[in-house]
Amino acid sequence: MSYSSQNESKEDARNAKIKNTMLNIMESAFIEIETIKKIRSDNLEVAMRVAHKVLDRLLGDINLINHASDMRLFDEYTYLHSVNVMVISIIIGIGVGFNDKELSDLGLAAILHDLGKTLVPLDILNKPGKLTDEEFSVMKKHAELGYDLLRDYENLSYQVKLGICEHHEKFDGTGYPYGKCGKKISLLGRIISVADVYDALTSNRIYRKGMDPSEALDFIIKNTGIMFDADIVEIFIKYVVLQCQTLNLIESINDSVGISVEGCEGAYYEPKIKNIIECNRTIKDHYKNILYKQKGSSVVGEII
């Protein structure tokens, strides 16, 4: 066997090992998403199919697979979190109406969104307490660092790179790295932002227990129009939340809306939402359109 053939054989074996490892992590992520994060979307099978396509794209580019492998070796949580964010983002993308190519691009941006964290010191990345201003400045650089690592990759579309760079931008313009606001933030960035925060809030870390999914949902809704695009939150609620929990709606005479949420280990969601308006559409109207009435349900909260 020639030297080049031996090298090709070793590289094939290495890629096969990496693929099997990533497949195992992906399977674990899907189990966690269904059992812990309570996402049982009808679109989960489609998301799995797209996720496998994303994995094939990673494996087709030696530089990308090296980056993904480096991320897993650097910090296991960051990699598992990235897989979770990919799946949730893909489900949102289905709701947006993305085609297969767009879903694949979204999935690729999502799984690589925290790539820049491989350049952040671990003592900052996994610090149990609050970061100092200086440490937070270092942490905030990860979005741009990830973009810089992939800037010259011709196999990645500009939209994928933007999604990676802009996933910490906030709808009101107070995010980073550029302080973009509203629809000036790329669509992929706006989608990944919601998926990223939801998964981060519901994930257990060494230094804290993850939130109940209902608490994470409460946070996202309260920050609609501040951190998040209301259009994306609506789709997230419809395609992710409503298919993972049992929601009951009762309209009263005064047109307030009461919601009870079951299915999250007995937790109840008690929203207190007022004047969340985007594009002449309110979250209340959205709930009225997509939730269903069920007799005998108790009202535990109000949207006013």
pLDDT beneath 50, residues of the chain: 245-284, 286-304
Nearest Cα to Cα of residue 55 among 19, 102, 87, 14: 19
In a domain, 295, yes or no: no
The tokens 């005064």 sit on which residue? Answer: 254
Q: Is 175 exposed, middle or buried (0-12, 13-18, 19+ CB in 10 A)?
A: buried
At 175, list the tokens. 């995010």
In a domain, 297, yes or no: no
In a domain, 91, yes or no: yes
In a domain, 120, yes or no: yes
User: How many domains would you assign to the chain?
Assistant: 1
In a domain, 300, yes or no: no
In a domain, 204, yes or no: yes
Residues in Cβ contact with 143 at an 8 Å cutoff, skipping those fewer than 6 apart = 116, 164, 165, 166, 167, 168, 176, 177
Distances (CA, A) of 136 to 26, 120, 121, 127, 150: 30, 11, 12, 11, 23
**Model confidence pLDDT, tens digit, residues 183-209:** 999 999 999 999 999 999 988 877 788
At 84, list the tokens. 């979770």
Q: How far is CA 34 from its chain centroid?
A: 14
The CATH number of the domain holding residue 96 is 1.10.3210.10
In a domain, 264, yes or no: no
In a domain, 118, yes or no: yes
- Residue 111 lies in domain: 9-210
